[in-house]
Amino acid sequence: RPEPLYAYLDRTASSYPERTAFVYFGSHVKYKTLADHSDRVAKALREMGVSKGDIVALYMPNHPAFAVAFYAAAKIGATVTPMNPLYTPGEVARQARDSEARVLFTADVQYDKAIKANEEYRFEKVIVAEMTEYMPAWLKPIARRQIRAPRIKYGGAVVKYAELLSYEAEGYRAAVKPEEDVVALMYTGGTTGTPKGAEITHANISSNLQQLKPFYDVVRRSRGIGADAPLVLVGVLPWYHIYGQVTVLHYSIFDGDTVLVYPRFDLKKILSDIGKYKASVFHGVPTIFNAIVNSVDVRRYDLTSLAFCISGSSPLPVELARRFEAATGAPLREGYGMTETAVVTHLNPLLNGRHKAGSIGLPLPSTYAAIADLEKPELLPPGQTGELVISGPQVMKGYHNRPEENKEAFFNCCGLRWFRTGDIAYMDEEGYFYIVDRKKDMIKYKGYSVFSREIEEVLYQHPCVKEAAVIGVPDQEAGEAPKAFVVLKDECKEQIKPADIIKWASERLAPYKRPRYVEFRSELPKSAVGKILKRILKEEELSKWA
């Protein structure tokens, strides 16, 4: 049965009070501290008048205070809306307006932007956590000099996070209906357009944690780690995004695990910590695995403790997975999920031989996945390509204040309520799913459907290609024609011409799928979670053609 999210923290903190929840710059934050601090902050929020159903915004990098604030809000039945720390003040204000946030938690490093946002949208309180909070005492003065956070004017609406910790814990828990009450208003990645708020209930997240457990338990079994010891998870993914928040932050609390917390992406530090803390589970995105393969000498690090690396959020090129496994010896498996399905719906099994390269794997337990007609509310027979649709306890209640989008996103069929993912996929005869492309990235060449992803896979096989993205550009004769944007590896920059790439692709793809144009770039536009933003490339192209 789904439970309120706070129940997991209560249980873990009472079973393992002394266990480390977070390692933060060498400091070990224990479960009893996380439980106690979130109780205190819950009390402080209640004193501020925040109650069930109110919106609490979190605009800060990964930090123990993020987790404290999240669980404090959950305990009083409030709804958290996390914001990308890279957001500008205008973007913060936009999400605050859309969600009708009442208070904002932020960090000293974000203070200037938070205060500007507060001029546009008046929060009742702006609570500022210092990045040095929870660091070891000896490190604080050094860290302060390095961080050089702006001077903070406390007083009025601006409150110091540390002050909230002086409130008396009262152990209050709001009565929560897990299937109805929204614990988080999560905004989508903004890859294809303006981010939309997805209403995520307590049950959505707690179901997904239960569904993921068998996968992490395989790690425990394979490494002989019993329930009496934590798994150590690498916390490189940002918690404001659903992927890292559910699979790392909430999962670790649910399972009593330890997270290595990083406010910033520092690859060398992360790789050396893996050996130091014997981390076994590493969630990442293709750009991170790409950086590990291409930008560092992995032989300098002890990565033998890594038992399960998981890639999600965008397609994992088969060639990249192969090279990562060869370089590190760690198994890398692809999974799939989205904000609206809080978060994972598919994952490849860890066991060798049970996974399939290029596939997102099998649906999680209690998850129905099918292929639907792109327009009609009908499921297609096995083997056909169409839109991936999902039904399961992790599927969101709906988009916040977006009746039109909700109408398009859901349909009923065969006794189930299906959610349209916007991704094109097919299922093989063994039930493994393959993402072909995003619906919005499909190219129409003379009436043929060309999937940008298929061309990208071929480009990634070229020994000189570091990154590739294919979009459709206007073509008088064909309607649209594929154009590839390519980032070359440093060692190849002088030797290769666009025509060589076109030739390579032409030898491997049917004529209608061949990229008609290739442009070299030194980098590709990316979102904060590392997704290549094809819509920016498209906008640039369209402005040239206009």
Residue 239's nearest CA partner among 356, 361, 107 is 107
Neighbours of 521 (CB within 10 A): 14
**Nearest residue (CB) to Mg ion, 79 versus 188:** 188
Question: Taking CB within 5 to 8 Å according to partner kind, which of Mg ion, ligand ATP, none is near residue 449?
Answer: none
Shortest distance, CB of residue 286 to ligand ATP, whole angstroms?
Answer: 8
Binding footprint of Mg ion, residue count (CB under 5 A): 1
Q: Find where tokens 């950086």 sit.
A: 291
DSSP string for 308-333: EEEE-SS---HHHHHHHHHHH---EE
According to DSSP, the residues that pair with 363 across neighbouring strands are 346
Shortest distance, CB of residue 313 to ligand ATP, whole angstroms?
Answer: 5
Shortest distance, CB of residue 424 to ligand ATP, whole angstroms?
Answer: 9
Asked if 438 interacts with ligand ATP (CB under 6 A), we say yes
Asked if 423 interacts with ligand ATP (CB under 6 A), we say yes
**Nearest residue (CB) to ligand ATP, 13 versus 350:** 350
Q: What is the DSSP letter of 245?
A: I
**Nearest residue (CB) to ligand ATP, 195 versus 386:** 195
Residue nearest to ligand ATP (CB): 189
Shortest distance, CB of residue 354 to ligand ATP, whole angstroms?
Answer: 17
Residues 59-88 that bind ligand ATP (CB under 6 A): none
Question: Taking CB within 5 to 8 Å according to partner kind, which of Mg ion, ligand ATP, none is near residue 208?
Answer: none
**DSSP-H helix ranges across 396-483:** 403-409, 452-460
Binding footprint of ligand ATP, residue count (CB under 6 A): 22
Residue 518 contacts by C-beta under 8 Å, 6 or more apart in sequence?
483, 484, 485, 486, 498, 499, 501, 502
Task: Report helix, strand and coil shares of the chain as percent, to nearest 5.
Answer: 35, 25, 40
Q: Which stretch binds ligand ATP (CB under 6 A): 27-35, 251-259, 267-275, 313-321?
A: 313-321
Neighbour-count burial of 311, counting CB atoms closer than 10 A to its CB (0-12 exposed, 13-18 middle, 19+ buried): buried
Question: Would you give the binding string for Mg ion spanning residues 331-370, x where CB under 5 A is met?
Answer: ----------------------------------------
Residues 153-212 that bind Mg ion (CB under 5 A): 188
Question: Taking CB within 5 to 8 Å according to partner kind, which of ligand ATP, Mg ion, none is near residue 392?
Answer: none
DSSP string for 343-365: SEEEE--SSTTS--TTS-BEEPT
Q: Which of 38, 81, 118, 188 binds ligand ATP (CB under 6 A)?
A: 188
**Nearest residue (CB) to Mg ion, 188 versus 258:** 188
Asked if 190 interacts with ligand ATP (CB under 6 A), we say yes
**Nearest residue (CB) to Mg ion, 110 versus 247:** 247
Q: What is the DSSP letter of 38?
A: H
Residue nearest to Mg ion (CB): 188
Give 76-88 as a 3 state SS string. CCCEEEECCCCCC
d(CA 95, CA 101): 8
Question: Taking CB within 5 to 8 Å according to partner kind, which of ligand ATP, Mg ion, none is near residue 531?
Answer: ligand ATP
Neighbours of 437 (CB within 10 A): 22
**Nearest residue (CB) to ligand ATP, 178 versus 244:** 244
Shortest distance, CB of residue 422 to Mg ion, whole angstroms?
Answer: 6
Q: What is the DSSP letter of 447?
A: T
Long-range contacts of residues 518-522, Cβ cutoff 8 Å, at least 24 apart: 518/483, 518/484, 518/485, 518/486, 519/483, 519/484, 519/485, 519/486, 520/486, 520/487, 520/488, 521/485, 521/486, 521/487, 522/487
Helix (H) or strand (E) run with residue 58 in it: strand 55-59
Question: Which residue type, as a one-letter code, is found at position 73?
Answer: A
Q: Which of 64, 312, 317, 530 binds ligand ATP (CB under 6 A)?
A: 312
Neighbour-count burial of 510, counting CB atoms closer than 10 A to its CB (0-12 exposed, 13-18 middle, 19+ buried): exposed
**Nearest residue (CB) to Mg ion, 188 versus 247:** 188
Q: Which stretch binds ligand ATP (CB under 6 A): 119-127, 149-157, 375-383, 415-423?
A: 415-423
For residues 399 and 409, is the Cβ–Cβ distance under 8 A?
yes
For residues 194 and 160, is the Cβ–Cβ distance under 8 A?
no
End-to-end CA distance of the chain: 55
Residues 319-358 that bind ligand ATP (CB under 6 A): 334, 336, 338-339
**Nearest residue (CB) to ligand ATP, 17 versus 422:** 422
Shortest distance, CB of residue 357 to Mg ion, whole angstroms?
Answer: 24
Shortest distance, CB of residue 191 to Mg ion, whole angstroms?
Answer: 6
**Nearest residue (CB) to ligand ATP, 38 versus 527:** 527
Asked if 246 interacts with ligand ATP (CB under 6 A), we say no
d(CA 409, CA 387): 11
**Nearest residue (CB) to Mg ion, 84 versus 188:** 188
Q: Which stretch binds ligand ATP (CB under 6 A): 167-175, 191-199, 474-482, 504-512?
A: 191-199
Asked if 313 interacts with ligand ATP (CB under 6 A), we say yes
For residues 115 and 155, is the Cβ–Cβ distance under 8 A?
no
Shortest distance, CB of residue 186 to ligand ATP, whole angstroms?
Answer: 8
**Nearest residue (CB) to ligand ATP, 33 versus 314:** 314
DSSP string for 171-235: -------TTTSEEEEEEP--SSSS--EEEEEHHHHHHHHHHHHHHHHHHHHHHT--TTS--EEEE
**Nearest residue (CB) to ligand ATP, 244 versus 482:** 244
Asked if 387 interacts with ligand ATP (CB under 6 A), we say no
Residues that bind ligand ATP in the complex, under the rule CB under 6 A:
188-193, 195, 312-315, 334, 336, 338-339, 360, 421-423, 435, 438, 531
Residues that bind Mg ion in the complex, under the rule CB under 5 A:
188
